[in-house]
Amino acid sequence: DVKVTQSSRYLVKRTGEKVFLECVQDMDHENMFWYRQDPGLGLRLIYFSYDVKMKEKGDIPEGYSVSREKKERFSLILESASTNQTSMYLCASSRQYQETQYFGPGTRLLVL
**Contact residues for other proteins, defined by CB under 8 A:** 4, 30-31, 33, 40-45, 48, 50, 56, 58, 90, 92, 94, 96-106
Sign of CA dihedral 61, 72, 8, 104: positive
Q: Are 60 and 2 in contact (CB under 8 A)?
A: no
Residues in the chain, overall count: 112
Contacts of 24 (CB under 8 A, 6+ apart): 4, 5, 72, 73
**Of 14 and 99, which has the nearer Cβ to other proteins?**
99
In the bound state with other proteins, the residue whose beta carbon lies nearer, of 58 and 63, is: 58
Q: Which of residues 75 and 80 has its CB atom nearest to other proteins in the complex?
A: 75
CB of 99 to other proteins, least distance (A): 5
Return the number of the residue (16 or 108) whose C-beta is nearest other proteins: 108
Residue 64's contacts (CB-CB under 8 Å, 6 or more residues apart) are 34, 46, 47, 76, 77, 78, 79
Tell me the closest approach of the beta carbon of residue 96 to other proteins, in angstroms: 4
| Rounded least distance, CB 93 to other proteins, Å | 11
